[in-house]
Structure 1
Amino acid sequence: MSEFLSDGLARNYVAGSWAEGDRGAVIAVEDPGTAEHFADAAQAGEVTLANALESARQSFERGDLADMQPSARGRMLLRVAREIRAIAAEGADILCRESGKTLSAARDEFEEAALYFEYYGGVADKIEGKSIPLGSDYVDYSVFEPHGVSAQIVPWNFPVSIAARSLAPSMAAGNSTIVKSPELDPIALALLGKALERAEVPAGAVSILNGVGGDLGACLVASSEIDQIVFTGSVPTGQAILRAAAETVTPSLMELGGKSAAVVFKDADIDGLMASLQSGIFFNAGQVCSAMARVLVHRSIYDDVVERAVSLADGLRAGHGMENPEHTPVISDLQLSRIEALIATGEREGVRVAAGGVRLDRKGYYWAPTILADVAPSARVAQEEIFGPVTCITPFDTEAEAIAIANGTEFGLVAGVFTRDLSRSHRVARKLRAGQVFVNEWFAGGISTPFGGVGKSGFGREKGLEALYNYVRTKNIAISLKG
């Protein structure tokens, strides 16, 4: 057991201190690779939340971050990055065991978290306003100010990196922040509190709470003390949060998942496509909001692509994340059952299960890498987010048809184009309804590229310089020089 879990319990990080759960309540955390109990997280309730809200408000009113010299704020974020790397080995072991992902992916997640703090640490002193000419009788300028207290609800698929993705720009802008961790795998995220503590982030400026979404999360977003809401997760939960935000008129940033399509033309590099398919739908057992959930293939190469995809899926080695296998479990038995139900629905609709389509016969929550072929665009499996190692392959005949199918869901997070034709890649990319389009490599881009969706994939942007402006509000100051 790690030092952080010396007694098997991960505590809440509140006002610079470590707190037990309300009335000693805990959340039992499983290892998805074994379906066995791993550790416990102290469950925050009303008392812990009230302490976090009070300390966040006090920190903001004191100006702990907002009034700090921007360059000093940047240096503080760089210290956090260094401390994240110092805990990365311990944290990766925890994250692997509680989330089911590979140990190498868990290490990469901590590294990505550190990179977010470095990136936004480098721009903390570059959030600049502007002067607006109104003539010789006026001086007019705009400045950016932090919202105040930012509530951030983090999903379970990438808890550490997604928390850092929002927390770093929030801190860079001068906000106080309360992070609500996912109840399925809260422990590695709780460990980030250790990095904040060691980096001497002012007490109260950041709290990390372990709690149940329908309880703690609902109370958090409904609080009148919250000045901004940041949420990554499912559409139904996002809609519930937006209803609560409407009552308090709280600005919100939503990333709500997707059903993203890759459009594969007949001149595509099939080897490159297969490499993208492996990372695009089988990485993290397909539990990625921007996964390659649909593959639209020109009919002239359709059979070849399906055959190659089946060979890829059948050849992936499954195992516990600590073994760094090619295929890992999904997060829970509930998620496994949901995948199973959707596949059964697809089969009733005439979808062909070309590979996988079953639970793996081993301890833990494993679903076989699955290729669904001959999928009609209207099929439920082509319209709903499965959030598992399952992709749907559909043929098309014309460019216009492919674009229509790709745009034919309620989502619009990412999309892909696979072609050697440069003109076509630009033309199709412009017509795809998505916040980000990958050309010839799924997941191209990085922490500096804006990320977010349209439609039921949400609104606002994370990552890159553009994300900073979600964490500030504009104030204009107009001064009359008359008289």
Structure 2
Amino acid sequence: MPAGEDVNFGDVQANFVAGNWVTSKKLIDNINPATGESFAKVSMASLNDLERSISQAQKIHESRMLYEMKPHERAAMIYRIGDALHELKPVGAKILCLESGKRLCDAEDEFDEAVRYFRYYAGMADKLEGRSIPLGAGYIDYTLNMPYGVTAHIIPWNFPLSIAARSLAPALAAANCAIVKLPELAPMAALLLGRACEMAEVPKGVVSILCGDGPEIGGALVRHPDVSQVVFTGSVAVGQQIMGVLAERVVPCVTELGGKSGGIVARDANLKRVLDSVYWGIFFHSGQVCSAMSRLIVPREMQDEIIHMIEEEIDSFSVGDGIENNDITPVISEGHLNGILGSIETGKSEGARLVRGGHRLNRPGFFVAPTVFADIHTEMTIGKKEIFGPVLALQPYDNDAEALAIANGTDYGLAAGVFTQDIDKAGWFSDRLNAGQVYVNEWYAGGVETPFGGMKMSGNGRDKGQEAIFNYVQTKNVAIRIG
């Protein structure tokens, strides 16, 4: 069984096709966002690779191998994947840092989180129980949790390893096979999931890990007649396209489609906690987080004070390569950087007050200055469009009802937050905020145990926690007349 230190770039350039490593002539450069230069090449999966992966997965499903495996043995297999990822972390985290631009410490945390997903859902594999339903004398009635079969997992580039693990682990726990389609940006660390499956002695074909073109490989994946369930994290536009395709075959899809999440600062808020959440909520990973705190809703009379505190915090940030654990790291690509700058220009043209930043930093790589707008209103594009970058928009309010209306005033509903020392106020806002998760006094509070998902256009279904495993089973009822 190979150790993590044996892994090098060559080990992860290929695709993991039905349990075998397969290269192709079509290669893409893996760009380091901190320098703008390629540091490795990755094979692009072909339609033939995809067909082989799905065909083998379907054969395994039809054989009932995973379903009939003793649940504690399936749990042990999934736990071994987590152990293998832990072993691969030292090299894998460096690869993830190089290809995504994020801080090395955050890449290490992403490996730790992925490990936790496998260990958490391994613990659920032998606890997926049906139930007995009383129908009266002469009847036996019970339910079974049946796997879908071949599940498709379409993964974004911002947290590729963690997001792949959070759906792959419960899918396996529920006895499904999986085809994981990785992004063209930052795919290499997540390809190590294939190595982890090898080390864990997962039967060949149960899991395939493919890096391929989105419209070609992703499109063929969701259209394939043997794919019975899909998980997608990404943009609203692509999510709508996928759901439209799947509706033709009535195939279920769990989606997480981003947000424009707002944190409400109450007048009694602990401003130190607000500042901590400003970094983590919008400047961590340069704001490339679906549930980022991209809006801060503040009492009108406190806006200037809070702006001053945020500016002082920004002054303390170090900027540079993630390998050195700088506070501000690059965004993923030149194209994404230009999109962020375009959104900033739109904000300025619509009358938002630019307080800080708003420009590209004069250095190699794809760096955007931490940016703060003030005096925005919800009808401004910057107040309702997801930017996916280090851009914070402050919007003032006069009373709690107005703050609530501002927070709920977008098409999204992924996350929301409130900063207050009043537990009654925290409960009042939490009950009324239209979001799949509400953070009180700490943005991103929670863990792998807590359900995560959106309302409104932020998606449907729930990842994480015990709820997630039920995305991957279908309830079958069996009613028996006896005597």
Tell me if both proteins adopt one fold, taking TM over 0.5 as the criterion. yes
What per-residue deviation string (whole Å, max 9, x for no partner) do you get for residues 436-478 of structure 1? Answer: 0000111111000000001110000000000010111100011
What per-residue deviation string (whole Å, max 9, x for no partner) do you get for residues 170-206 of structure 1? Answer: 0000000000001011111111111110100111000
Alignment partner, residue 279 of structure 1: 280
1:326 matched to 2:351: no
Alignment partner, residue 10 of structure 1: 13
| Secondary structure at the counterpart of residue 129 of structure 2 | coil
The amino acid across from 1:480 in the alignment is: R
Partners of 1:205 and 1:349 in 2: CA distance: 52
| Secondary structure at the counterpart of residue 229 of structure 1 | strand
The amino acid across from 1:71 in the alignment is: H
The amino acid across from 2:354 in the alignment is: V
Partners of 1:360 and 1:6 in 2: CA distance: 30
Alignment partner, residue 433 of structure 2: 432
Alignment partner, residue 181 of structure 2: 180
Alignment partner, residue 406 of structure 1: 407
Q: Per the alignment, do residues 309 and 69 of structure 1 end up closer, same or farther by CA in structure 2, a change over 3 Å counting?
A: same
1:355 matched to 2:356: yes
Alignment partner, residue 253 of structure 1: 254
Q: Per the alignment, do residues 206 and 261 of structure 1 end up closer, same or farther by CA in structure 2, a change over 3 Å counting?
A: same
The amino acid across from 1:308 in the alignment is: M
Partners of 2:180 and 2:148 in 1: CA distance: 15
CA-CA distance at 1:9 after TM superposition: 6.1
1:442 matched to 2:443: yes
Aligned positions of 1:253-402 closer than 5 A: 253-402=254-403
| Secondary structure at the counterpart of residue 224 of structure 1 | coil
Alignment partner, residue 218 of structure 1: 219
Partners of 1:326 and 1:375 in 2: CA distance: 26
Partners of 1:212 and 1:38 in 2: CA distance: 20
The amino acid across from 2:313 in the alignment is: L
Partners of 1:315 and 1:337 in 2: CA distance: 26
Partners of 1:295 and 1:463 in 2: CA distance: 26
Partners of 1:464 and 1:7 in 2: CA distance: 35
Alignment partner, residue 477 of structure 2: 476
The amino acid across from 2:291 in the alignment is: S
| Secondary structure at the counterpart of residue 66 of structure 1 | helix
Partners of 1:107 and 1:360 in 2: CA distance: 26
1:125 matched to 2:143: no
CA-CA distance at 1:314 after TM superposition: 3.1
The amino acid across from 1:97 in the alignment is: L
Alignment partner, residue 463 of structure 2: 462
What per-residue deviation string (whole Å, max 9, x for no partner) do you get for residues 48-71 of structure 1? Answer: 011111111112122232221111
Is the CA contact 2:155–2:183 (under 8 Å) kept in the aligned structure 1? yes
Partners of 1:35 and 1:291 in 2: CA distance: 25
Partners of 2:192 and 2:179 in 1: CA distance: 15
- Tell me the C-alpha RMSD between the 2 structures: 1.2
Is the CA contact 2:12–2:192 (under 8 Å) kept in the aligned structure 1? no
Partners of 2:68 and 2:301 in 1: CA distance: 62
The amino acid across from 1:438 in the alignment is: Y
| Secondary structure at the counterpart of residue 262 of structure 1 | strand
What per-residue deviation string (whole Å, max 9, x for no partner) do you get for residues 339-367 of structure 1? Answer: 00000000011111111111000000000
The amino acid across from 1:452 in the alignment is: G
The amino acid across from 1:191 in the alignment is: L
Is the CA contact 2:437–2:453 (under 8 Å) kept in the aligned structure 1? yes
CA-CA distance at 1:6 after TM superposition: 4.9
Is the CA contact 1:235–1:257 (under 8 Å) kept in the aligned structure 2? yes
| Secondary structure at the counterpart of residue 319 of structure 2 | coil
What per-residue deviation string (whole Å, max 9, x for no partner) do you get for residues 217-254 of structure 1? Answer: 01111111100000000001101111111122111100
| Secondary structure at the counterpart of residue 134 of structure 1 | coil
Aligned positions of 1:56-135 closer than 5 A: 56-135=57-136
Alignment partner, residue 23 of structure 2: 20
Partners of 1:36 and 1:64 in 2: CA distance: 45
| Secondary structure at the counterpart of residue 144 of structure 1 | strand
What per-residue deviation string (whole Å, max 9, x for no partner) do you get for residues 52-109 of structure 1? Answer: 1111111212223222111111111111111001000110111001110011111111
Partners of 1:118 and 1:101 in 2: CA distance: 25
| Secondary structure at the counterpart of residue 475 of structure 1 | strand
What per-residue deviation string (whole Å, max 9, x for no partner) do you get for residues 123-169 of structure 1? Answer: 11001111111111211111111111000000000000000000000
Q: Per the alignment, do residues 7 and 140 of structure 1 end up closer, same or farther by CA in structure 2, a change over 3 Å counting?
A: closer
Q: Per the alignment, do residues 32 and 282 of structure 1 end up closer, same or farther by CA in structure 2, a change over 3 Å counting?
A: same
| Secondary structure at the counterpart of residue 89 of structure 1 | helix
CA-CA distance at 1:7 after TM superposition: 4.1
Q: Give the structure-2-normalised TM-score.
A: 0.98
Q: Give the structure-1-normalised TM-score.
A: 0.98
Partners of 2:444 and 2:56 in 1: CA distance: 38
| Secondary structure at the counterpart of residue 477 of structure 1 | strand
Partners of 2:409 and 2:252 in 1: CA distance: 29
Is the CA contact 2:12–2:191 (under 8 Å) kept in the aligned structure 1? no
Q: Percent identity?
A: 48
